[in-house]
Structure 1
Amino acid sequence: MVSITQAKLRVAVLTGGGDCPGLNAAIRGVAKTLMLTVQAEIIGIEDGFLGFIERRSRTLSYQDCSGILSLGGTLIGTHNRANPFDYHGEDYSSRVKAYYDELGLDALVIIGGDGTLSIGYELTKLGMNIVGVPKTIDNDLMCTERTFGFDTAVSIVTEAIDRLRTTGQSHKRIMIVETMGRNAGWIALHAGIAGGADTILIPEHPYHIDQVAQACRTRMGSHQFSIVVIAEGAKPADGNVCVREILDNSPEPQRLGGIGEQLKQQLSVHLDAEIRATTLGHIQRGGSPTSFDRIFATNLGSYAATLVASGQFNRAVVQKGNQLSHVALACVANKTRFIPDDDPTLGTAIAMGICFGTEHLAYHKSVARNAPE
């Protein structure tokens, strides 16, 4: 633990990666807690790590951080292509450290997903005091049970499924809903269950088109419509992920998308039915956060502030057993939390007969799952 003795801290806050409902709530939690507990001066780094590279920041007042709890987006902007270790082919990390020193910062709070926190971990090696706050709608960060933004995204996708259901029922169609979820299928799984999907396809388990077709055929026979939810990173067992475009100057060059339309074409060979595909895209990211995400993001931000105030740096705030805690940034960096086979929500979906397009995740009546004694 680092001991801080100066009367007034100078703490910067940064939001990196994609926008996410709850970012402003987290900024507010960090800033107001530090302002009120240790009279800290809060510096907002503009547009993520790009603000460090281009030397852009501004002081945030208490008033700046008021009235932003319900707002989507981020007060200080973000950027998902400004990796200071590889920005347009050059290493700007020393420039980041120089600007950190010039600002006279005692600490930096970074609010972001796996890419942002991984960059933060590398910057700690240069001597920067960093505390990470986990955010991502994908809910795929290691060491934490949940990230803020996930609840809002699931709510948005669930509402979309509810709306598409009425069209499917009315026209006797198979409705395919493509969600975000590049590497992990948390959104598809949770929204699929909440929306009553018959089939959920996730990146963790490549699907067999014949099993998906059979599930749709069975559902069409009994209810005349079917709902299929598929994560953008899902892929057929004999194929690859669906790449929409490649951006060479991005930390993640491959931009996924289009698997819903691809699945539609695959199913049309097997089924004599009307099939429609809808891609929700960035609709899942935007808008006002749910009440859960407002509270959760505020809690995470405030907890991060207490770590800064007590001199506990190079840590990431996490939730374990419904309690907030912290782990070393190294434990979170460069890792992805996939849906494990023993996940209780996944188990529920299997037990209810939801199709995942693979025999590995199929319910067998002869096998009792978690039967009580």
Structure 2
Amino acid sequence: MRIGILTGGGDCPGLNAVIRGIVKSAPENVEIIGLMHGWKGLVVGESMKLTDNDVEGIHILGGTILGTSRTNPFKSEDMRIKMEENIKKLGLDVIIGIGGDDTLTVAARLSSMGYKAIGVPKTIDNDVANTDYTFGYQTAVNVGADAIDRLHSTAKSHGRIIIVELMGREAGWVTLEAGMAAGAHLILIPEYPMTIDEILTYVKKRMDRFGYMIIAVAEGFKPTELENVVGDESKIDAFGHIKLGGIAHYMANIISERTGYDTRSVVLGHLLRGGTPTAFDRILGTRYGVHAMELVMKGDFGRMVALKGNDIISIPLEYGIATKKLVPFEYYKLSQIFFD
């Protein structure tokens, strides 16, 4: 049996742990083929054989040894044909797609076409439905919280407002939990917009009492007055997403102009994706990889591995991509207790 595995979308701490889990748990009669740079590897026919030696010790490393991209093999008929031709040329019996919503959508479509596919959920945004956590998320929260911790001292020393921009296109999990852990004084996430005036009310109250402020904002947040999120609409990826970024700078300018307070912006961006994964993400990635191989050996295809409580289970692929897992209001309401 030949199994092709790939990592698609943004890089994420824990990807290498998944790869290692799959390779190390494969029976001797199973050959693992690493497809390079996500779905692009199947379109252009770029791959490498993976052995135990290739994955030795990689679980502690960030990024992915297979490389990644945001390639959509169904973007054109020509790309789809090349992908299917390469599946045949490589003699792949099964494809394991490790990625977020976009990567899993491609895997689900392949499954509907009759190919044997398994999905492993990956995103630092933690917004894949029907799984408690995706690996990489805890690392991103820890990095975000550490950065905000460090910004407290400089904001207080200078009497400034510092707006910290974290990742989160549609779901604010990273921003919320990093902000809560580090004691941000206002947290702004996509699920719950505010008006500029509401934000300024929090700002003035905080500055009158304490003289400095930290605001954590998700890149996908937009004030009620804005029609669209802040980003570069000229840059759209293969799945139709615009390049986000700039909301912290936008808000800093408004707050400075309207209040006169010294206001700065910091964009954490890809710092949240990089570096060594936490122990939690190494273990979760490993368990996902091993369970994905178990599904292959059982012949249980068209499914995605998931975490429920402390158990690794599997669900139909379409359940993982049906909706986004967003922050519930009760959880966001909890964080509001500390907006002061």
Q: Same fold judged by TM-score > 0.5?
A: yes
Corresponding residue for residue 66 of structure 2: 76
Q: How has the CA–CA distance of structure 1 residues 155 and 248 changed in structure 2, closer, same or farther, with 3 Å as cutoff?
A: closer
- Distance (whole Å) between structure 2 residues aligned to residue 304 and residue 176 of structure 1: 40
Q: Give a deviation string over 1:24-43, Cα, whole Å, max 9, x none.
A: 011001111114xx542111
Please point out which of 164, 185, 193 is paired with 2:180. Answer: 193
CA distance in 2, matches of 1:98, 1:336: 32
Alignment of 1:45-124 (within 5 A): 45-80=35-70, 82-86=71-75, 89-124=76-111
How far 1:249 sits from its partner (Å)?
Answer: 5.4
- Distance (whole Å) between structure 2 residues aligned to residue 333 and residue 120 of structure 1: 10
| Greater Cα shift, 54-63 or 264-273 | 264-273
Distance (Å, rounded) in 1 between the aligned partners of 2:15 and 2:236: 27
Is the CA contact (8 Å cut-off) linking 2:17 and 2:59 kept in structure 1? Answer: yes
**Partner residue in 2 for 1:31:** 23
Instruction: Verify the 8 A CA contact 2:255 2:261 in the aligned structure 1.
Output: no
Does the aligned pair in 1 maintain the 2:97–2:103 contact within 8 Å? yes
Partners of 2:198 and 2:5 in 1: CA distance: 48
Do the aligned partners of 1:114 and 1:334 also contact (CA within 8 Å) in 2?
no
Q: Distance in 2 between matches of 1:211 and 1:353?
A: 16
From 266, 288, 294, the counterpart of 2:282? 294
Whole-Å separation in 2 of the counterparts to 1:252 and 1:137:
19
* Structure 2 CA distance for partners of 1:206 and 1:347, relative to 1, 3 Å: closer
Residue 312 of structure 1 and its aligned partner are, at CA, apart by: 0.6
Are positions 1:348 and 2:331 aligned together?
A: no
Which residue number in structure 1 is paired with residue 170 of structure 2?
183
- Residue 152 of structure 1 corresponds to 139
Q: 2:253 aligns with which of 261, 265, 268?
A: 265
Give runs of aligned pairs for residues 273-352 of structure 1, distance below 5 A.
273-333=261-321, 335-343=323-331, 346-350=332-336, 352=337
Residue identity in the other structure for 2:89: E
Identity %: 42
1:291-327: CA deviation from partner (whole Å, max 9, x where unpaired): 1111111111111111111111010011122321111
- Report the alpha carbon displacement of residue 10 of structure 1 after superposing the two structures with TM: 1.5
Structure 1 counterpart of 2:38, one-letter code: G
Q: Secondary structure of 1:92's match?
A: helix
**Larger CA deviation: 192-201 vs 214-223:** 214-223
Listed as ranges, the gaps of 5+ residues in structure 2 are: none
Unmatched tracts of structure 1, length 5 or more? 1-8, 356-373
Hey, what's the Cα distance between the residues in 2 that align with 1:106 and 1:250?
A: 26
**Any conservation in 1 of the 2:9–2:100 contact (CA below 8 Å)?**
yes
Match of 1:182, SS?
coil
Deviation at 1:11, TM superposition (A): 1.1
The secondary structure found in structure 2 opposite 1:219 is helix
Q: How many residues align structurally? A: 339
Q: Note the alpha carbon deviations across 1:166-208, whole angstroms, 9 max, x for none.
A: 1101001111000110111111100000110010000011111
**Greater C-alpha Rg:** 1
| Structure 1 residues 90-149: Cα deviation after superposition (integer angstroms, max 9, x where no partner) | 442233223222322221111000000001111112221111000101111111111011
Q: How does 1:239-258 map to 2 (within 5 A)?
A: 239=226, 240-248=228-236, 250-258=238-246
CA distance in 2, matches of 1:261, 1:190: 21
1:247 alignment partner, SS class: strand
Q: Does residue 42 in structure 1 map to residue 32 in structure 2?
A: yes
Question: Contact 1:22–1:297 at 8 Å: present in 2 too?
Answer: yes
Counting helix residues as a fraction of each chain, which structure ranks higher? 2
Where 2:180 maps in the other structure, the secondary structure is helix
Cα distance per residue 1:211-254 (max 9 Å; x no partner)? 21121222222221111000000001111210234225532341
Kept in 2: contact 1:97–1:128 (CA 8 A): no
Partners of 2:191 and 2:77 in 1: CA distance: 34
Distance in 1 between residues matched to 2:149 and 2:237, nearest whole Å: 38
In structure 2, what is the Cα distance between the partners aligned to 1:147 and 1:132? Answer: 12
Superposition TM-score, scaled by structure 2 size = 0.95
Aligned partner letter, 1:124 = S
Q: Secondary structure at the match of 1:207?
A: coil
